[in-house]
Structure formats: structure tokens, C-alpha cells
Structure 1
């Protein structure tokens, strides 16, 4: 529907990127659109469902920034007050087509510090908090007036390594130091995920070797990377690295990792995990330097392609939908998270599953691609997040979702 607004507003949507196989939109009548594609597209419906519909004339007149300031939708809640980075007040939409929410008014308060959130909950100033630090969850669970609930998220946290060729990024003038699969596999076998999940997350995380989250359609469990420092050193030797007693070298180049991360951004023990990861890699002889940054700086570095040739970064990858394709497309184009591009063979497998309309055949292709990606190790998987919430015992009807959202339509508070 190009003439009906899809391309009328600059930066208004990312349809061209999200749906590159859509060749034409055709209006059939006031309630029907026919979508034409250049190839079979089994993920089309998932992609269409995640794009919001907004008022065309208002958006063209006022622009995207104004739309972000004064959103208009058709959901279960009406936005009645918004104070940037402070709070938001929603009121029930009594004519919502899916049924009106249980409560009339909902206030969302921004409280960045976990300790302050928990203090507000205990004082009765708020009824529910998210991103509860795992170390606090067990303590809160023993308090009779509170309840702890949790659920797995579609959030895979990983170590990304620079494996690009020198003409594929803008810094260093050298090929990425981590272009050899054996080097990346060595780092994967140096990580003690069981200890991270037990000691740092208190069990509120999952070890997931697949590049796809466990809650996504098409997920196929993969053989874990065993914690095996001895095998990690063997892999480094096979990759041509020599143990000097002070670290590893290859052709005069030391095995260095400048490890960047967005401090205090992802919550739930991400920073602590990154620090633990650095120590585990040092244990096998990798020279690691931690570089804490704000999220915007990490984003700018990865978007502009200025990650050092001997650099990497930890980050958590979510998904725009719940289809495995959305994770597996990470290594198809030079985006901010693609630092180890698909080989032609892997790209062919990816393309095959993206075009396969038979569900059973496509699931087999997805499983095969996940196995190949596991063996190729473009990233070092760390954990999949299990989100922890705490709420007053008076709160009823709250269930964690897998999509990093919260659904309050059925939530009520007993008097």
C-alpha cells in the first residue's frame, strides 16, 4: 500500500528491511489487502503482525517524533498522562474489542535502581516490580505479603566476536581476530555456564546452545558446549596459536579481547556475568580488557562498524516475533550484531528454510541450520534470561509473558 502511507513518512517504518520479499501491496476493498511477494514467504504473517497501524494523515502532518510523543492506538488502554523517563498513566478502554481490563486505572513508574524498586514494593507504594535481581528473589519469596513469579524470555545473551574481514568494518585495518571457528569454539568451551546460572542467577536463567530462544517456533535443542578449559587450549593450538606462558600468540599477534558491554542496561546480573566471563577467558590465557560503556555508545560502535579488530561485546538479543528465522537471520547481512557472516553454504541453508512453505520440511531445515550454527559458533552463548517479577500478594491474574512485555488486562488487586 505504498500510496496509502507505508512509504510516506521518512523513518516511519522498516517495512523494506523487515519484509524485503514484499513486491507489491494491493487494496482489494476497504477491509482487504492482497500482499504480493517475490518468493514464498512462510514468515510473512508474523512480520505483518508486529507492525503497528497508525493514522496516516495525522502522522504525515505531525511526523514520527510527534507520534512517539502522542501515540494513538486501538488497544485495551488509553494513555492519559506521560512524563518522560518518570511515569505513565493508563485508563481502561471500556469499548476495547477484546474485553475491557479488570482495573480502571494503571500507573507505570520508572524506578531505575533495583533496591529502590524493592523498597517501594515493600512499602506498598507499588504493587508489582520487574527485573528483580536473582540474589533478592529468594529473600522476597519468604515474605508473606509478597509473591515471586518468573518465566523464560525470548532473550539470548551472548558474547559477539569480531570475525569480519578487514574490508567489512571500519577500524583496525586488519581482519577480525576471531575469524577462525576453532578460536571461537575455544572461548565457548572456556565458559562455565552451570556456575554462572547457579551462583550469579540463582537458577533464574537457562543454558541454551541454540542461537534460537527456547520459546520460539522452530527451536531445536543443541548439544551444549561442555565447560572444558583443557579442550579450549587444544582448540587454540589447532587454530595456530602458541602458548608463550604469558598468553597466546599467532604470527606475532597476541590473543587479546577488548570486551565492551553496556553497563547497567540489561539488568538481572548481566554486568556480573560479563565480569565473570572475562575471568574465565583469562583462565585459558586470553588477554581480556573490560570496557564498560553506556548503551548508546555500544550501539553507535556496532552500527558504524568501529569495533576493534581484536574486539567483542556482550549483549542480549531479543526477537521481533517468535519464529526461529528472526534469530537465524542475524548473520545474513552486515548489521550491528553480524560480526561473523554466514558462509555461502550456511546462507544457502538459511535461504531454503525462509522459502519453505511445508511446515514439517521447514522445521527440519531450521533444526539443521541450528546444528550447523552451533558447530560454526559465530557467537559464544552465555544464558537465556528468565525474567523475575515480585508483586503484592493482593495482586491476582498476573502471568509473565515470553516477549519482554507485560499484559495487565486480566490483573486485579484485592482489597
Structure 2
């Protein structure tokens, strides 16, 4: 249950004064000193938010760290560590900060904190602060080069300047979790990752990698206090084992419930099943980079031709996947933008059309010479597929293997390489994906606006393996600079249509996230965001 909705905050929060310290619904027999154990399919690979925020990682990171802009249960922005934000000129934004907030170690949160975090985001003044760079999930200096400088107006006001209009600055800056300045300088960035200290409702007590994370209630939290004393995030990789632990009373809440199990659990009066569409856009990424943009061995990526990528999209039977694997708990979203993001525009689905797919491949030079494999210039249409098994959950694993069979049926020679998620991150970050490589992964978003998805193919990053052609890059720049909301929505819709037709990735599905919990857990509401929010959640005795 998210604080903004509970407390009746409904506006963009440009003039909001505070999130009221309201109480949740009364539960006469709640256990204020209890522990909630939550079963997840995987551990986080990092706690430093600069390293990255993903579908699993967000639940861990956002218990401890907070952002200037919070989000309510409907996915709308509400005040977080900032009371308000506004554009004070076409080239400047101001954030007014919440007074009286402290980090878990007692360090004050103020304008200096924000300026320090901006330096980390944009990799500036790191020598001055005596801290190291980290491999960042988002390279702000590349993604947002138009952000020129930031300044402290007073202890509770920060002004950020740009070289061009930026209608979404409040989002891409405001949603980034913030770390303490003095603690980081004193202990190094390693401490931010290993011994996280934030302003959030939960304090990190112990992190046993690949096993569990234990947290305790932050009694000095500025907002609604957690309604129970201890939270344990327990790693249980196998979906069946997570469900069994719930039924045995060993855990109180289960993340990533397989759809088939959800239909069974929904009939069990001792279990409550809840679900919500989320910003989890699962895709097959293909190497469409030019040879100078990755460790190529002198060859362009095999999938630079958009006709090939579009043909592979036509070979995927998404309706069958959603019906057989997800039992309806997924969306066939062919827009590059999540359906719950601001600015989303629905796009025409890719039809399942093998004949048309083969014709498009033939047009681009790929033909079957009678051996059941498509060839061009004597070489096969091959795909070395990196597969982060057991990271996103059972359904993702099943879909990946189903997609492999569909592509083989088209004539693609697919080799599957199961790897752990950390290895996948290392590979795509370093640019060492093979020239005929690809990987299945779920694109998540830390932000609320469609821009976060549409900028994927601008600056080279770990997920940009098919850079925008010049004409699409110009369309994208137009969406970024337009200040008129109605005109910008029209530009966003046009760009989404063009990206759908250009097909930089093979779109698979958008997840409807499923949770199951014990009747002891009350007030839990799934978010459209990636993380679980336990503020206001209570345990009955």
C-alpha cells in the first residue's frame, strides 16, 4: 500500500506541502513487533542505486533508499524527499526539500546531499569528494547531456539548469534513490553497496548474499511508520518451493507466483492472490550494433537489418504464450513503452505469420538451402542466446525456451547459454556480446514517463544493441524538448509507432505481476512500479 494514495495526495505535487502522517486502517489484533518474511526468486546484485535498479533489485533498494519523488499505488507522482518541484524557467527546475529528514546513521538530508548525488549521477567532482566511479546502470552524463549544472539555493532548495527545455527532468532526476554524502565520502562507495544507509522506512541489519536480507523498522522515519518490526527478504529460487513455504507458514508473502499456481491458490481460502500490470517489459535483445560499438572482432552485429528483426517478431506466437504459459497474466504489448507509463500509446500487435516472416528474411538474403537452416553467403542465421535463468521467475524461463523453439522453426540456428544475471550484466556492460549474440531480459523502468523507455536506443548502454537511425533519433529529440503536454503526447505516440515498425528488439510480453500472501498480511497492494511497498502493511496476530 503506497503512502500517497492512503493519505489522499492526488495532484502532481507541485505545490504539495507534505505527505500527511496518517494512520492506516485499524486492525485491533495487529502484531507491531512481528516479522514479515517475503520469498523472492533471487537476491539483489547490488544495493548502490547508481549500479542499477531492476525488477528484483528495486524491492531491496527501495526499502532502504528514497527518492525526491515518490509514487502512489496508481503510479502517480507524490512528494518524497522533495515537498515540491517546478520549472522556474524553460531551462531550470527547482526542488524544495522535506525538512527534518535524517539518514539511518543520523546524517541530515539537505541540499548538499542532493548536490552530491547529482555529482555521482553525472560523474562530476568525484576526485574532489575522493570517491570512485561505479559501473552505472544509467550513464546520466550520456543520457542527459543537456543537464549543465546544479546549485544550492538554500539548505532546502536545489536548482538544476539545462541547455534545452526538459519536460521530464523532475522524473529522471526525481526518481533516482539518494545516498548519504558524508557516509559515502568517509566509507567509500563500497559501503553504499555493502552496508546501505538510507532515509527509508527500513534499516539494513544483515545481508547474506544469495540467501536473505534482514531489515528493521526505522523508528525515526519521516512518513508512515512500518506496522511491524522486522522484514526479511528471503531468496527461494524455485517457484514451487516459494509456494510450499507460504502454505507451510514459513513465509508470509511470495513474489513472482507462477500463473498456473495462481489459479490454484486463488481457490484456497488460506491464501490471498493479488496482481497488477507492472513495468516489466520482457524482450529478446539482438546484436544490431555497428562493429565500432562493441567488442566485435571487426564484424557488425548480425542483426543490423531491421527486416530481420521484424521477421523474428512475426515468428513469435504471443497469444499462445500468454494463454499457455501465463494463463492470461501477461500483456502482448508491442509498444516500446510499458502500458502503465505516462505517455504510453497502444500499438498494432505483431501478427503471428511464419510465411510473411520467411518472405521478409528472403528479401534480406536469408534463404533455406534445403537443410532447414537459413543461410546467407554460406553462413547460417545463428543466434547465441544468453539466458538469465531463475532470475525473473519460472514463467520467463518457460517463455525463453518456447521462443527458442519458435525461432528454430523459422530456420534460425539457436544456441542457448544459461548464465546468472550478474554475468549477463557484466557481458552487456562491457560490450562483449558475440556478433551473432542476443539475450532475453526484462526492461524495467525507474521512472514514470515514456521517455525512460524511448531513450533506450540513443546513447550506447547495456540495453542499446540497435542504435536509432538518424530519422528516429530526430523524432526522439522532438519528444524530449516539447513542453506543451498535448503536443508532446502526440509526438510520443508517433515515435512509438515508428519504433514498433523498426523493431529494435523482439517484443515478448509485459508481465502482470502476481503475489500471494497469508491472511495475516493486511493492506498489501501491488504497485505498477517494480518494488514492493510495505508502508502501511500490517501483520495480524
* TM interval, short-chain normalised: over 0.9
Tell me, in whole angstroms, the C-alpha distance in 2 between the residues paired with 1:106 and 1:281.
43
Alignment-derived partner of residue 487 in structure 2: 361
Tell me, in whole angstroms, the C-alpha distance in 2 between the residues paired with 1:410 and 1:185.
45
Offset, 1:218: 0.8
Tell me, in whole angstroms, the C-alpha distance in 2 between the residues paired with 1:213 and 1:362.
17
Deviation sequence 1:21-44 (CA, Å, 0-9, x none): 221112111111111111111111
Tell me, in whole angstroms, the C-alpha distance in 2 between the residues paired with 1:285 and 1:377.
19
2:357 is aligned with 1:232: yes
Alignment-derived partner of residue 300 in structure 2: 175
2:229 is aligned with 1:104: yes
Alignment-derived partner of residue 52 in structure 1: 177
Alignment-derived partner of residue 60 in structure 2: none
Alignment-derived partner of residue 366 in structure 2: 241
Question: Tell me, which stretches of 5 or more residues in structure 1 are unaligned?
Answer: none
2:463 is aligned with 1:341: no
Deviation sequence 1:272-302 (CA, Å, 0-9, x none): 1111101111112222222222223222222
Deviation sequence 1:170-208 (CA, Å, 0-9, x none): 234322221211111111000000111111112211110
2:192 is aligned with 1:67: yes
The secondary structure found in structure 1 opposite 2:316 is: coil
Change in Cα spacing, 1:312 to 1:88, as seen in structure 2 (3 Å) is closer
- Following superposition of structure 1 onto structure 2, how do residues 305-384 of structure 1 map, counting pairs within 5 Å? 305-384=431-510
Aligned match for 2:377, one of 251, 276, 293: 251
TM-score w.r.t. structure 2 length? 0.73
2:262 is aligned with 1:137: yes
Offset, 1:345: 0.5
Alignment-derived partner of residue 278 in structure 1: 404
Higher mean alpha-carbon deviation, 235-244 vs 318-327, is at 235-244
Alignment-derived partner of residue 207 in structure 1: 332
Change in Cα spacing, 1:123 to 1:61, as seen in structure 2 (3 Å) is same
Change in Cα spacing, 1:4 to 1:98, as seen in structure 2 (3 Å) is closer
| Contact 1:172 1:308 (8 Å CA) reproduced | no
Aligned match for 1:160, one of 280, 285, 288: 285
Offset, 1:261: 1.3
Tell me, in whole angstroms, the C-alpha distance in 2 between the residues paired with 1:141 and 1:36.
51
Taking only aligned residues, the RMSD between alpha carbons, in angstroms, comes to 2.0
Alignment-derived partner of residue 23 in structure 1: 148
Tell me, in whole angstroms, the C-alpha distance in 2 between the residues paired with 1:304 and 1:80.
33
Question: Tell me, which stretches of 5 or more residues in structure 2 are unaligned?
Answer: 1-111, 120-124
Deviation sequence 1:346-395 (CA, Å, 0-9, x none): 00011111111111111111111100000101111001111111111232
Change in Cα spacing, 1:144 to 1:327, as seen in structure 2 (3 Å) is same
Aligned match for 1:295, one of 405, 408, 421: 421
| Contact 2:280 2:511 (8 Å CA) reproduced | yes
| Contact 2:258 2:514 (8 Å CA) reproduced | yes
Change in Cα spacing, 1:79 to 1:293, as seen in structure 2 (3 Å) is closer
| Contact 1:187 1:232 (8 Å CA) reproduced | yes
